[in-house]
RNA sequence: GGAGUGUUGUCCGAGUGGUUGAAGGAGCAUGAUUGGAAAUCAUGUAUACGGGGUUUUUCCUGUAUCGAGAGUUCGAAUCUCUCACACUCCGCCA
């Protein structure tokens, strides 16, 4: 959520910033007008309340002295009515203001490429050239199915489209990858957490998924009363329970930055994406992801974003997977983000880079919604800045390993760093199938 | 699922309609004392929003907040209703 004070004091700047994210100026004008009306009503109500408090004390005093307070009581009865009236106005205006504020995206950083969509994204750096093959590389789903380590057909029968069974060496590979990620992240100072996979609406609102993006997630309903959703949603990312852990808290400033990491499944309904990436592991309704979250002081967040991005990059480097880093344009970055670097890994069959991690500085946008604050050395309270990044999407990493490490005979060479996690298995072949 | 109890400031804990933003204690901060420390003493110790002053910081003032929301009242932490959560016991269960 944006700070109404910032918008109030710099309306033109706010409009210009949000215009790069597709927000119209009228919306901001409306917001400012509501804010003015709200403060006017609030001021009047508070003045009357001050009067009422004062007179009420006099009434109490009069009663103690056994004096008559009838006139004052009658007067305050009228004042009370007017206060109730004004408070109703304030409440209505506050709701309206909140309605708009909850749906406005974060201000983009000055360094963001400006543009409406991903064609305006800018490559920041590239690591290694795309993998070269002396043969025609196959798609990871072909490799996986031929090796008997991925089974999409049976998953379709059991669950539906966009689900998968990992089997045998495939399951082992998935497990090896996420254990490797968790070990790397914890050695970089991230604290490991296993959070709930179902969260309530307040949490979804706190990290910015709600109220705008209810379409993208799975919410639980009561079978006996299907019209009434329970206040529980399957997490679309571990970011939600990780950040909301701190919702409503004031943390000691000396403990910042706080780094946490978690492996969780992520559940996404992906409405509107029908037809895209219909095959393979790239776009699933359920996928494993290791997430990294940072809470820090505002002045540190830009340095922390670089660190977070490098943490994620090192994972790809150790796996030997070619990738590049892309700065997202103002129109492509996520709702909560001020600046986002996407890590895109090379997928030989598609012959292009595909997102495998998204590292964002959300500045105080989530912290304001979730009321996450810290106390500085002087005892003063401020909002923290929050950052999140995948480290990394596990399924997509497996896809990238299958495609980049494939051999002409369809076997997969296991990346060296994963060997200890694969019980020494050097190669995945058909003999590993069941 | 059934029955009961409870939810007050950083923590513990008092408080059943009127100088209660909230007793008391602990903790913490600053100062005094000390060679230093402990002990002791003194002072201070919430957040949000509005207004004013300053605009680096400090400050003044009003309002609200005692799980959340609504109601009764001139006035509610205190009375009424709804909801959420926690704990205890019983039942069921991986």
pLDDT digits (tens, 9 = 90+) for A340-387: 999 999 999 999 999 999 999 999 999 998 888 888 877 778 889 999
Separation of A63 CA and B94 C1' (Å): 64
Q: Which residue is nearest to nucleotide B10 (CA to C1')?
A: A250
Total residues found in chain A within this entry: 434
Asked whether residue A7 carries a pLDDT value surpassing 70, the answer given is yes
Contact partners, residue A291, CB within 8 Å, separation at least 6: A237, A238, A239, A242, A261, A262, A264, A388, A389, A390, A391
Strand (E) or helix (H) holding A80: helix A70-103
Query: Rounded mean pLDDT of A1-20?
Result: 91
Q: Is the peptide bond before A226 cis (omega within 30 degrees of 0)?
A: no
Q: Which residues of A are catalytic?
A: 268, 283, 355, 358, 396
Task: Give yes or no for a contact between A145 and A169, defined as CB atoms under 8 angstroms apart.
Answer: no
Look at residues A420, A416, A408, A186 and name the one whose alpha carbon lies nearest to residue A321.
A416
Chain B, protein-covered positions (CB within 7 A): 18-19, 46-51, 57-58, 62-64, 70, 73-75
Q: What is the pLDDT of residues A147-166, one digit of tens each?
A: 999 999 999 999 888 999 99
- Give the nearest nucleotide to A61, CA to C1': B18
Q: Where are the alpha helices (DSSP H) in A320-412?
A: 365-370, 394-404
- Tens-digit pLDDT profile for residues A290-305: 999 999 999 899 999 9
List the single range of A105-119, A156-170, A247-261, A271-285 with lowest mean pLDDT: A271-285
Q: How far is the CA of A72 from the C1' of B8 (A)?
A: 32
**Closest-lying nucleotide for A83 based on CA to C1':** B63
| Residue A274 reports pLDDT greater than 70 | no
Q: Which residue is nearest to nucleotide B50 (CA to C1')?
A: A43
**pLDDT score of A195 more than 70:** yes
Element (H, E) at A383: strand A381-383
Confidence of residue A271 (pLDDT cuts 50, 70, 90): low
Q: Give protein residues whose Cβ lies within 7 A of nucleic acid chain B.
A: A 4-5, 39, 42-43, 45-47, 49-50, 52-57, 59-60, 63, 73, 76-77, 79-80, 91, 250, 373, 375, 378-381
What 3-state DSSP class applies to A421?
helix
Distance CA(A422)–CA(A397), nearest Å, equals: 15
Distance, CA of A202 to C1' of B85, in Å = 14
ipTM > 0.85 (yes/no): no
């Amino acid at each position: 959520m944006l700070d109404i004070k910032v918008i109030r004091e710099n309306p033109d700047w706010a409009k210009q910033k949000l215009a790069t994210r597709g927000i119209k100026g009228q919306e901001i004008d409306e917001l400012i007008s509501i804010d003015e009306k709200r403060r006017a009503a609030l001021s009047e109500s508070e003045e009357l309340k001050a009067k009422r408090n004062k007179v009420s004390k006099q009434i109490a005093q009069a009663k103690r002295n056994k004096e008559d307070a009838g006139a004052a009581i009658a007067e305050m009865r009228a004042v009370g009515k007017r206060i109730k009236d004004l408070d109703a106005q304030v409440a209505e205006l506050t709701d309206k203001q909140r309605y708009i504020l909850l749906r406005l995206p974060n201000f983009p950083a000055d360094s963001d490429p400006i543009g409406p969509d991903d064609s305006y994204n800018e490559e920041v750096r590239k690591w290694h050239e795309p993998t070269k093959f002396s043969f025609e590389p196959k798609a990871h789903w072909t490799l996986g199915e031929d090796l008997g380590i991925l089974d999409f057909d049976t998953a379709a029968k059991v669950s539906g489209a966009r689900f998968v069974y990992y089997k045998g060496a495939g399951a082992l590979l998935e497990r090896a990858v996420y254990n490797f990620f968790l070990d790397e992240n914890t050695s970089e100072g991230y604290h490991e957490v296993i959070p709930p996979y179902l969260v309530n609406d307040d949490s979804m609102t706190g990290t910015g998924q709600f109220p705008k993006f209810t379409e993208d997630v799975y919410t639980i309903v009561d079978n006996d009363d299907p019209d009434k959703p329970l206040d529980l949603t399957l997490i679309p990312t571990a970011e939600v329970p990780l950040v909301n852990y701190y919702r409503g808290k004031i943390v000691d400033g000396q403990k910042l930055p706080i780094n946490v990491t978690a492996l969780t499944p992520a559940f996404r309904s992906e409405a509107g994406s029908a037809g895209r990436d219909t095959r393979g592991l790239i776009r699933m309704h359920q996928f494993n992801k290791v997430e990294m979250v940072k809470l820090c002081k505002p002045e540190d967040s830009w340095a922390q974003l670089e660190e977070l991005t490098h943490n994620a990059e090192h994972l790809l480097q150790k796996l030997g997977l070619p990738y590049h880093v892309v700065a997202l344009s103002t129109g492509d970055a996520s709702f909560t983000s001020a600046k986002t670097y996407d890590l895109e890994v090379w997928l030989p069959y598609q012959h292009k880079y595909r997102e495998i991690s998204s590292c964002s500085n959300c500045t105080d946008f989530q912290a304001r919604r979730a009321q996450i604050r810290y106390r500085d050395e002087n005892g003063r309270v401020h909002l923290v800045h929050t950052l999140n990044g995948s480290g990394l999407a596990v399924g997509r990493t497996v896809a990238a390993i299958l495609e980049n490490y494939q051999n002409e005979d369809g076997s997969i060479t296991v990346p060296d760093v994963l060997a200890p996690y694969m019980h020494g298995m050097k190669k995945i072949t058909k003999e590993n199938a069941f």
